[in-house]
Structure 1
């Protein structure tokens, strides 16, 4: 048993455990309940840090590293538009009692642009409010039962999706037994699970893993669209949805701004097409930042200022990420993609702490390579890994610190008679 050092003035810090698996009901609930629980490292000046004991310094540096690795999700003008549309659609559908098909939402954009985190945050905020509204009880529960209440279900589309594997992925979220079930049984089980758990929103991530040239994927898309009969808001998240072929049978309604898709052609065999109602989706793009107008530059700089507030470097000056040419440099390194920016800043902070630089400079960041070749859980063939801008070329003799060694002047050096061409 160890006792705490009475002179230890740093915040008690416990390394976070393994991240929750949001693809299960228990994991989703754990993530939703703890998503804002992380306490960042306190702000210390260099003089205060030097007064700490070696152990305290080590713990504080570890806490700072964890802080930079768990930067909070920042809202952007693009994510705010997505949140407004998605939250409004889920809320409207949740209180709708008409036996009509609920309109869905499609969120598109490039890889590492925050689509998944934005959608999950919106869904979690809705679930928080919905549970509080109903006193954490399922208002649709069968009398005499105690079904788990799960207003939101989050599922990742299987890499090689088929109707059966997609149904099993959804049922896996609820922990349902899928053994010895054929497709009609699986579909009925999905319908019953959504209803029994009071699910109001079904998030299907990485939907563009479907390839429309494959018959199995076409069947899967038809099945997913037929799920809209289950009185649940379908939220499809994917990279470049317009270019993926998912909308090839649809038509755009300029009056409502929605994409209208015809009824499924194959899902009728699953017993999910009792009506000929067309499926409607609101398509919205979560785009990257731009840097070509004063408004875009201002938005990018404001985002950098917000990010800077969460960094814990001992020598960081005000405007570290926003002054001078730093905003343009960071944009050039990340192409305005928030996920790449977070990776660059996180690795840069780690380098700054390790070298004692304790600030982010262009020289420090030049030494950081953004490598996404082995990104876990990403399918490069589906566009989930973006193109990373090239790392700046470092010239010979460049050092990673903010000060470079000044070369000695040799103008007045006496190089001897040989150098001057004289004979001895």
Structure 2
């Protein structure tokens, strides 16, 4: 006798497609708000459940803590105001002029990518609704995929050709191995236009090293992209210190950075006489803990995070009262990504041990480690320096492992 496989819980989802492919971006954009967190229940209600129901609920809680929502901060709101205004203003421009771009700088794990992607996705939602999901610039009789936003990871070893190919890869466009650079630039310009792209996000742009000739050519190429009637959004760690702005000058009237013209501008038929390519530089900084206003902002963020947790012994003020706000700041240095990692690991430990509560003692036993972080280049500053390790304390005894989902083999099934 064989048993049918139990249905997969509804909170599992397929996230195998990367966002730097059009299909992956579309999947993420459509489903980014679809996750439903586990319901908040009491310890008594959990105890009254059947073993299987408890196990499913614990899995749902783990998924909830692994998918904590993106919370707004005073710093992210500043980025959102600028980026949202720039994308929308540029999208409505009909003049054949260079669109001003945006550079988002900050340390690693500070939420730059997620903030920019969320703003761009919200723009795409509204832009599609405005045009009834049809490309307003499409040529009659064509069926090009519609992509108002393109998200591209800068290659680790960036060269002009590899950067063009990374953009074309987002659209799934073929790239001949022997194509020369002018042909690739023209193909990029054609893809951006044919797919109705209004915003091009180039992430991890500080992987470019300005002491390398190829990287200098790549930056010049990126400036040429600004002539392709898209809002160019560059995201990187410490952009001012990376050398990317070495050739730029600040405009005191606007506060923007003015970049010199690109020698590639003529390659795809655009005017080579354009003299200004402007970028707004905005920083997504970490939290600070020096003034009453900064401490209040940090505590407000912790309160919002606390509302998302699903521990059975949780209580109001678990993260915001006593010494806990200062402790969490010491452990994370105010970096939202490190705080999220610590809270996520802490919640799993609290569930596994049965304590169902976050305390300093429990969190002290959880070291923060970003070694081997996938998709991040430590040499480009994408992995931040971690706070000094705290002395480990004796960890609580773990709750016995739940065996309700174990497969005991055909002999047990036939009994």
| Alpha-carbon distance in structure 2 between the residues aligned to 1:148 and 1:271 | 24
C-alpha distance in structure 1 between counterparts of 2:27 and 2:5, whole Å: 30
1:14 CA drift (Å)? 3.8
Counting only pairs closer than 5 Å after superposition, residues 329-344 of structure 1 correspond to structure 2 as 329-344=327-342
Q: 1:228–1:53: structure 2 CA closer, same or farther, 3 Å change rule?
A: same
Structure 2: distance between partners of 1:193 and 1:399: 55
Hey, what does 2:68 align to over in structure 1?
Answer: 71
Whole-angstrom distance in 2 between the partners of 1:215 and 1:271: 25
- Does structure 1 conserve the Cα–Cα contact (< 8 Å) formed by 2:265 and 2:272? no
Establish whether residue 22 from structure 1 lines up as the match of residue 52 from structure 2.
no
Q: How does 1:9-158 map to 2 (within 5 A)?
A: 13-158=10-155
The answer to whether the Cα contact below 8 Å between 1:250 and 1:259 also exists between their aligned partners in 2 is yes
SS of match in other structure, 2:168: helix
Alignment deviations for residues 85-118 of structure 1 (CA, whole Å, 9 cap, x no partner)? 0010010000011111000000000000000000
Match in the other structure for 1:229: 227
Alpha-carbon offset, residue 20 of structure 1: 3.1
- Cα 1:277–1:32 change in 2 (3 A) is same
Give the match's secondary structure for 1:238: strand
- Aligned mates of 2:195, 2:84 — CA distance in 1: 20
Aligned residues: 394
Q: How do 1:103-252 residues align onto structure 2 when only pairs under 5 Å count?
A: 103-179=100-176, 180-252=178-250
- Give the one of 392, 397, 400 matched to 2:396: 400
1:285 is aligned to 283
Partner deviation per Cα, 1:89-148 (whole Å, 9 max, x = no partner)? 010000011111000000000000000000000000000000000000000000111221
Check 1:270–1:151 CA distance in 2 against 1; reply closer, same or farther (3 A cut). Answer: closer
Query: Which of 362, 365, 385 lines up with 1:364 in the alignment?
Result: 362
SS at match of 1:345: helix
Normalised by the length of structure 2, the TM-score is: 0.92
The answer on whether the counterparts of 1:201 and 1:233 sit within 8 Å (CA) in structure 2 is yes
- Give the 3 Å change call, closer, same or farther, for CA 145–13 of structure 1 in structure 2: closer
Give the equivalent residue in structure 1 for 2:325: 327
Q: Which residue of 1 aligns with 2:316?
A: 318
In structure 2, do the counterparts of structure 1 residues 399 and 193 end up closer, same or farther at CA, with 3 Å as the change threshold?
closer
What's the CA shift for 1:253?
Answer: 1.3
Judged with a 3 Å threshold, the aligned counterparts in structure 2 of structure 1 residues 265 and 181 are, in CA distance, closer, same or farther, namely: closer
Does the 8 Å CA contact 1:250/1:261 hold for their aligned counterparts?
yes
Q: Residue 15 of structure 1: CA displacement?
A: 1.9
Deviation per CA, 1:299-357, whole angstroms, max 9, x where unpaired? 00000000000100000111100010000000000000000000000000000000000
1:30-56 CA distances to partner (integer Å, 9 max, x unpaired)?
100000111111111000000111111
In structure 1, C-alpha distance between the alignment counterparts of 2:216 and 2:129, rounded to whole Å = 39
Deviation at 1:381, TM superposition (A): 0.1
In 2: Cα distance, 1:65 partner to 1:318 partner: 20
The answer as to whether partners of 1:110 and 1:240 remain within 8 angstroms in 2 is yes
Distance 1:19 1:72, change over 3 A: farther
* Separation in structure 1 between the aligned mates of residue 332 and residue 142 of structure 2, nearest angstrom: 52
1:196-235 CA distance string (max 9 Å, x none):
0110000000000000000000000000001111111000
**Alignment partners' CA distance in 1, 2:99 and 2:337:** 32
Q: Give the alignment partner of residue 384 of structure 1, picking from 382, 387, 398.
A: 382
**Bigger relative contact order (CA 8 A; separation at least 6):** 2
Question: C-alpha separation between the residues in 2 aligned to 1:165 and 1:343?
Answer: 33
Secondary structure, in 3 states, of the residue corresponding to 2:95? coil
Alignment-derived partner of residue 261 in structure 2:
263
3-state DSSP class of the match of 2:280? strand
Check whether the contact 1:222–1:267 (CA below 8 A) recurs between aligned residues: no
The DSSP-based 3-state class of the residue aligned with 1:105 is strand
Higher CA-based Rg? 1
User: Alignment RMSD, CA only?
Assistant: 1.7
Contact 1:101–1:277 (8 Å) recurs in 2? no
- Cα drift, residue 276 of structure 1: 2.8
1:4 Cα deviation (Å)?
8.6
Q: Is 1:254 equivalent to 2:252 in the alignment?
A: yes
